[in-house]
Amino acid sequence: MTQSGLRLRDIKKSYGRLAVIHGVDLDIEPGEFVVFVGPSGCGKTTLLRMIAGLEDISSGDLSIGGQVVNELPPSERGVAMVFQSYALYPHKTVYDNMAFGLKIAKVPKDEIQRRVHEAAGILQLTDYLQRLPKALSGGQRQRVAIGRAIVRQPQVFLFDEPLSNLDAQLRHEMRVEIKRLHQRLGATIIYVTHDQVEAMTLADRIAVLQAGRLMQYDTPDAIYNQPAATFVAGFTGAPPMNLSPCTVADGAAQLGGLRLPLPAALAARAAPGQALQVGVRPENLRLARGHDDDLEIPAQVQLTEPLGAETLATLACGNTEWVARLPAQFREPHGTNLTLHVRPGHLHLFDAASGNALRA
C-alpha cells in the first residue's frame, strides 16, 4: 500500500471573525500512526476535516506526499475517512457497502472483488459479506466501515473517533484490531479521539490540542513523562498528574507546610518568588522507600477507591490533596497518618501563569 507523509504549516481556520485553529505545524512521516487528542471543542476534528478536504483551510499550507493540496477536492487527496457513525447503507450487504465507492469510480469488477475479499480477510469479515448491517454487531459494523476505507487503497487513513459508539469491551477489542491493522498495512494513519487511553496505546506520536492550539507533539512516553504544560500533564494519565501551587526557595518546592527538595538543575530554572505549580504522577507516590534519595512526605488518608488490581487513595499532604496509586491491599481508614516516598526526579515544575513546564 502506498504511504505518504503530511506537512502542516501554520494551518489556521476561522469562521468569520471566530478563529478556531491557531497556526498548527505538524510533520507526519509515511507509515506513522498519529493521534490528535484533546477535550471536546479543542479543534481536533476540524483539523482532521481540513486534511480530508471537508473543511476549507483559512491560511497555511497542507502537503500530502510532497504536494500542496489546499485546493484539491477530497477525492483527489489520496485519503480515506472512517467516521464516528458507521454510515453504512442499511439495504446493501457488507460486500456491496465495501464495494460501492469502487463501483462509482468504475473500477473493474474483478479488481473490486479482489480488493473486497482481501480487506474482508484482513478484518475477519469473509463470513459476513452477504449479511446486511442490521445482522452485525457494533464492532463488525465498524470493521465494515474500516474495510470500505481499505479497499480504496488510500495514501492516508483518517479516523474520526471511530470507537465512541462502542461499549468498553468492544472499544478495547477494536483498539487491538486497529493496531494490528496498522502493523499489517504499514499505513499512514491520523486518528482523532478524546480518550487519552486510546491515544497512548495506539500512537507513534500524539498531538495534544487545546482550544485550537497545539500544546505538545511527541511520543506517548514523552507526553506522559515530560509534559510540556499543565494542560498536558492534567489531560494524560488516569488519574492525571497531581498539581499544587508552590514557590521555590533554597532549592526546594515550598507548598504549605511541605518542603520538597528538587534536583539542582530544575530548582535553578525557577526565578525568586515565581508562582509555580509542582506536579507528581499518582504512581510515583509510594508507601515504601525505594531509593536512598527518596523524599518523605507526611500524609493523611482522606478516602480510598479500591479498583481490584490497585487502590486509589486521596491523601492530605500539607495544605493540598494528592491522589496516589497504591497496592490493591491498601485499605487504611480515613484519618490514618502515613509517610509517602517520591524520588526528586519524579517532581515536575510548571509556571503558574503560562502553564509551561520548567525543564532541568
Q: Which of 228, 262, 282 is the last residue of a domain?
A: 228
Instruction: Write down the pTM of the prediction.
Output: 0.90
Judging by DSSP bridges, how do beta strands 213-218 and 205-210 pair with one another? antiparallel
Do 157 and 255 have their domain in common? Answer: no
Instruction: Label residue 212 by pLDDT band (50, 70, 90).
Output: very high
Cα–Cα distance for residue pair 324/287, rounded to 1 Å: 9
Instruction: Find the CATH number of the domain harbouring 68.
Output: 3.40.50.300
pLDDT of the residue at 256:
80
Q: What are phi and psi of 26, to 5 degrees?
A: -145, 145
Amino acid found at 215: M
Q: Between 180 and 208, whose confidence is greater?
A: 208
Q: Is residue 233 part of a domain?
A: no
**Assigned domain for 1 exists:** no
pLDDT in tens, 107-134: 999 999 999 999 999 888 999 999 999 9
pLDDT at res. 164 = 82
| Assigned domain for 297 exists | yes
Does residue 209 share a domain with residue 249? no
pLDDT tier at 342, thresholds 50, 70, 90:
very high
Asked whether residue 234 is assigned to any structural domain, the reply reads no
Chain segment 252-276, per-residue pLDDT in tens: 999 888 889 999 999 999 988 899 9
Q: What is the percent of the chain where pLDDT is above 70?
A: 99
d(CA 47, CA 247): 38
Which whole number is the average pLDDT over 45-62? 96
The answer on 276 and 169 residing in a single domain is no
Confidence class for position 136, pLDDT limits 50, 70, 90: very high
The answer to whether residues 150 and 205 belong to one domain is yes
Contact 25, 19 (CB under 8 A): no
Of the candidates 159, 203, 214, 208, the residue with the CA atom closest to the CA atom of residue 32: 203
Question: What integer pLDDT is reported at residue 238 of this predicted model?
Answer: 86
Please, what is the average pLDDT of the chain? 92
CA-CA distances (angstroms) from residue 15 to 22, 55, 214? Answer: 12, 11, 19
Considering the domain architecture, whether residues 217 and 349 belong to the same structural domain is answered as no
Structural domain ending residue among the three candidates 188, 206, 228: 228
| Res. 181 pLDDT band, cuts 50 70 90 | confident
- pLDDT at residue 2 in the model: 61
Q: Are residues 188 and 105 in the same domain?
A: yes
Write out the residue range of the structural domain in which residue 28 sits. Answer: 6-228
Positive or negative: CA dihedral 244, 294, 220, 238: negative
- Position 322 scores a pLDDT of 96
Quote the number of domains for the chain: 2
Do 251 and 172 have their domain in common?
Answer: no
DSSP-H helix ranges across the chain? 44-52, 94-104, 109-122, 138-150, 168-185, 196-202, 220-225, 230-235, 264-267
Residues 17 and 153 in one domain: yes
Residues 339 and 311 in one domain: yes
Both 36 and 181 in one domain: the answer is yes
Instruction: Work out the average pLDDT over 90-114.
Output: 94
Assign residue 250 the CATH number of its domain: 2.40.50.140
pLDDT for the residue numbered 1: 53
pLDDT for residue 173 is more than 70 = yes
* Residue-level pLDDT at 168: 82
- Per-residue pLDDT tens over the stretch 220-234: 999 999 999 999 998
Task: Tell me: pLDDT of 360 over 80.
Answer: no
Phi/psi of residue 286, nearest 5 degrees? -120, 155
